Each structure stands twice: as structure tokens, then as C-alpha cells.
Chains A and B, each alone.
Chain A
Amino acid sequence: MKRVAFVLAVFAFFTLNAHHGAGVYDTTTVIDVTGTVTEFQFRNPHVLIFIDAENEAGQAVNWSGELTSRNRLARQVQENRPQWTNDILEPGDTITLTGNPAGNGSPFLRLIRVETSDGTVLIGPDQSPAEEY
């Protein structure tokens, strides 16, 4: 199911190594976006994940989200989370991205959580902080 859920909540679980202003993102909102991976860039200064997700009109929208740096993700082994590598995500994978959306309504996310279709949480809390209202 492709859905976009919104919740109004201040959420600061995952601190980015912010080299840009946080003002780009609406940090009072957390959303889930489920779709198909089109591109995965395991790079510095921030890892990028691109997915195609359907909007309410049934049109495909390419969303992208940023995580922390490749170096940090490659080192960081969270409890009950897999080791991040350059092939942890492949085009065609169905995943759910959770994060703060861009304040201007564009399909960009500061990621808090990534979950695969089999329920494996790659990063972030066990449950998505985004809730349907």
C-alpha cells in the first residue's frame, strides 16, 4: 500500500550532521512514504535514497531522502539493525521512508527511519513515529 501519513510532532531521534540549515525541513512533521527504490547513493556528505511513490491521483512521484554520511553509516552498528553497505538497497526494492518533509511541499525528506517490505528496519526506531491522523 502506498500511502502518505502525517503527524504533527516534534521529533529529533536522528541528528544529522547538518551542514545545511535545518530550516529547509518542517521538523514539526513526520511522514511515511512507501514506494520502489529507483536509486541509492551511498555517498558523502549524506546518503541519498530515491523512491517512486504514487500520490493520491495515482501518479508516480519521485521522492528522495537524506541520511547522515556514508562514513558514519558504515561505522554505525545499531542494536538489532543491519550493517549499512553500498548494496543494502537496490533499485526495485519496496521500502518505506520516514522523515521530516521539506517545508515547501516538495518530495524531499530528512530521513528518520527506513523499513524494507519484509519489515526489516534498516535504521531508526522500531515503530514509525508517523501516525495517520
Chain B
Amino acid sequence: MRKYFFFMLSFLLIGCGQNTSQNINDAAEAVSVDPALEHGADFSGVWTRDNGAGARAHNSSWSREIPDMTPWAREQFDVHLPTFGARAVAVADTNDPVYECYPPGTPRIYLHPFPMEILQMPGRILMIYEYDGIMRNIYTDGREHRDDIGVTWMGDSIGYWDQDVLVVETRNMRDDTWIDREGVPHSEEMTVIERFQLRDENSLWIDIEITDPVALNTPWVTSQAYRKTDWTIEEFKCMDNVSFAAWEDQILEYD
């Protein structure tokens, strides 16, 4: 009986092993059509903004000039009270949604001075932003944009490889985020195209094109640069800003 038990156990184990191998083979076969295996570059690592690399973005916006906004967008821009740029107000007076802990959205997340980690795997690239632990999945397995869940904070992103350049298209974003930190609005019709490429193994360059038929008369074309670090991504939650405000309030309320 015991021999039979071990025989059956061995059979089960071998069987499982074969199944597992078969599954891996199936998976490998499935992703072998993934362009990521034929082209592409390795963006894996933790990246921090490289302000000296000549990108068009600066601390609070995508260009020094205000983008070419439609009257619809201009009307909203005029009532937005940012804490950066020529129209900056004090934090106490701002209506910047990020100060209410709304996620910054895509592409504004790149204007916040926090590192990000890129994890690359067959068919998918995972971006983890230190700011508020925000993440984005970029699917490179050939799927289409989603039309089943409505709009989201960071949008839905699909990507493909143009040789060593990863081209990412993001759509379906909520319209209650700003494109930058100076109050430029967008609609749910916004599309963000990012082109990721390595200038060298430690230098990541992202060309960004923002189009929005409702908000922008012409595409807003810009870029952002990153350098690789040996850091790990740590926790940074927006909610800590809220509790920190209690200390700041003591300054203003000091008698």
C-alpha cells in the first residue's frame, strides 16, 4: 500500500512537473510573438529626473510658453489657481487638485520630483512612481485600448516597439486633473503619446506629445529626461502631506 502511495505520489509529481513545463512552453510560445522579444530596449531600473539633460519640461510645466488652448480650456485655465508659474498663489489659496491628494494623472506625474521604477516583462511594462505609490501598466502584447471601464486617473496605456523606441499611447483619462502644475486643463479626449528611448544605459529620454481636440488647438510637444540610480523606491503617500499640514498650521496660528 505504501509502495503504491509513493508510486502514485511520484506519478503526480512528475505529472505536475510536466504540466508546469508544458505551461511554461505554452507561455513562451505565446509571448514569442510579442514584439518586445524581437525589438526593444531594457528600461528596467529606478530613474530620477535629470534636470541637466536638456529636456523641454521644467519644474512645473511642459514648456516655458503656455500651450495653444481652446476657449473652453482657457476659461478653466483662468480660474485655476496653481502654486507654480507666473500665476502662482499661496498653498492656502490654491485649487490644484493634487493638494487634495487627487492623483496627478498622466503625464503630469513626470513633473513631480520623485523617482520611478520601471519593471519590464514580456507583454507588459510596469511603472511604479514613488509619488503616492502610483503605478501604470503599459501593455505591449498587442491588445487594444479598453472601452469597458470608463475613464481613470492615469488612463489606459498600450505600447509597441519602434525598433529600440517604446511608443506608448494613453487614453481614457479623467478630466479633473491638470496637465501640468500651472493649471492647464484637459478633457477626457486627451491622448498622450510617449516615446521612451535610452540615450545610453543610464539615460532615459521620453518624448511626449499631448493632443486634446477639446482643450488644445495644437499638440503640446515636450520631453522629459531621467538618469538611472541605485535607489530603491520608498513609500511616499500624499496623505502624509495632510497630517503634516497640522504642523504648518501651527506656524500660521502662532500667538
Contacts and interface: CB of A to CB of B under 8 A. Distances in A.
Interface centre among A64, A107, A108 (most CB of B within 10 A): A108
B148 interface: no
Q: Is the interface of A mostly helix, strand, loop or mixed?
A: loop
Interface string B236-248: 1100110010011
A24 to B, nearest CB: 6
Contacts of A20: 91, 248
B248 A45 contact: no
Interface in A14-69: 17, 19-21, 23-24, 43-46, 48, 64, 66, 69
B100 interface: no
Interface string A67-80: 00111001100000
A46 B113 contact: no
Interface centre among B91, B244, B250 (most CB of A within 10 A): B244
Interface residues of B, number: 22
A44 B240 contact: yes
Contacts of A71: 114, 130, 234-236
A24 B248 CA distance: 9
Contacts of A127: none
Given A45-B241, A64-B247, A71-B130, A24 B252 contact: yes
B241 A104 contact: no
Contacts, number: 51
Given A71-B234, A74-B234, A104 B251 contact: yes
Interface size band for A: 20 to 34
A50 B59 CA distance: 31
Interface string A105-131: 111100000000000000000000000
Contact of A23 (B90, B231, B254): B90
14 contacts: A19-B99, A20-B91, A23-B90, A43-B240, A43-B244, A44-B240, A45-B241, A45-B244, A48-B247, A71-B114, A74-B234, A104-B251, A106-B254, A108-B250
Interface of B: 83, 90-92, 99, 113-114, 130, 231, 234-237, 240-241, 244, 247-248, 250-252, 254
